[in-house]
Structure 1
Amino acid sequence: MSHFKAACVQMRSGKSVADNISQAEALIRQAAAEGADFVQTPEMTNVLVRSREELMERITLERDDATLARFCLLAKELGLWLHAGSLAILLEGGKVANRGFLISPDGQVFAKYDKIHMFDVDLPNGESWRESATYEPGKQTMLADLPWLKMGMAVCYDVRFPAIFRSQARQGAGLLTMPAAFTRQTGEAHWHVLQRARAIENGAFVVSAAQGGAHEDGRETYGHSLIIDPWGKVLAEADHDRPGIVVAEIDPEQVVKARQRIPAIANERSFALGEAGLLAEENLA
């Protein structure tokens, strides 16, 4: 299995789709110039806006999406695998998909994934999020065969649901992807430990491009895009919240070695959940 270079594009997407495309393209080209074979952008690459009304004014059906069209041309021109971490895509029924796209070097959409878990929460700092009010959750996880290893697709909040990544790893995924727009508050508390945990428990590489900084709609995201190896070592990190890139070399053989040293997937066993009260009654009988 040959080595390859992976890159995370860290962005600060705003309300202008055209500006976001321009920002993303410049950073993708920078990653390609540094030898990246696989480039990932963050969640909501095409537009980041809190207002549902403003969002609906800016997004289109998939077939008309300007970001996706530009990324397909870029992937072909640069000869790389381009993972649009997610784009806001209008659905026929009036809701929105938070949809990731994997684009092959021939400029074609190779795989796509709709974010499954919706971030519906009231945070202690007064922020309130109800993604399910706007977004239609996905119903299936997704795997894709890259030339070097198998990749699993997920988005942001999915990182808190380890069953997704375990199911991908069981099916051979050696690269797990978690592009995100983590809030600053939750990012400072949990970002690194969640990313490293998913890598360690599955013996897989993790590539997670992030949004970072103060956005036009008033939110703050954490940044700190990460590339992590199967032993949990951080290979590359944007240790800030500014737009930029990070690049790391990926050796697929490390997946094999990690899973040999800690064969957690092979050692998994099914089990039942006992109820203490019932067991106590049985012991008295």
Structure 2
Amino acid sequence: MTEKTHAVPNGVIHYWMNDFQPGRAVLVFLPGLTADHRLFDKQVEAFESTYNLLAWDAPGHGKSRPFVMDFTLAQKAAWLHAILQAEGITAPVLVGQSVGGYLSQAYIQAYPGEVRGFVSIDSAPLKRKYMSDKEFWMLNHMAPVYSAMPWKMLRNAAAQGIGITEYAQQNMREMVAQYSRDEFCGLMKHGFIMLAGAIGADLGYDITCPCILLCGEHDKTGATKRYNPMWAAGEHLPLTWVKDAGHNSNADNPAFVNAKIEKFVAGLPGLRTGLQGRLTP
């Protein structure tokens, strides 16, 4: 994977791509809050020889810092769109974990018809109707809870709360280790505010492309495990529980998740190649 950059007014976004080959589907990996592109190491390892891949460090995360954290989810989607356009990528398959799944929905909302498929991993719906008033209030007031925790406890909670395997927990520990306490808490605060703003806007967020929902059967982050059956039933989307997995199910059980991604992509409409071998509609 080759590291590349894209400058925006708030900072510089870093992302990684493999050697794109004509006729291959493009998978765009979007990690969740406080995680970076390394969250998808097991997916890159499995797919780098069969798919065209792009993985980013979201604004303010990983190498995409320093970054001015005053942007909305819609702006974040616009920056991702600009990167894909700059690389000549159209009709990507978005693979979004947690907040990366929220971003995917915002992207589909902003750029209808441009996404070929969406794989949600331990994410939840952006539609306001799925969230209770109490949950929406808590989303707007969670930041002080994290800020009040001792830093060592917070780091341990971040790792132990998202995975049940040693690999998933260590993967998260390594990603969290790059932040100072203030940076980490700032990311959490901005993430909650950004999501509350998007959900409070009460937009359609209709998923107009093929989609699958994957959720760890031991996911304990927020109400993710409760939201997914509601989301699946309300939007008529297929839901698969990932066995032996928590919130970062793609790290806990990569073989299972990779197989589901591969089957999903194989079932999408046929490909034709275009600019620089990128996938085109």
Tell me the TM-score range normalised by the shorter chain: 0.3 to 0.5
Tell me which of the two structures has the higher relative contact order, counting C-alpha pairs closer than 8 angstroms and 6 or more residues apart. Answer: 2
Normalized per residue, the structure richer in helix is: 2
Higher strand share: 1
TM-score (norm: length of structure 2): 0.34
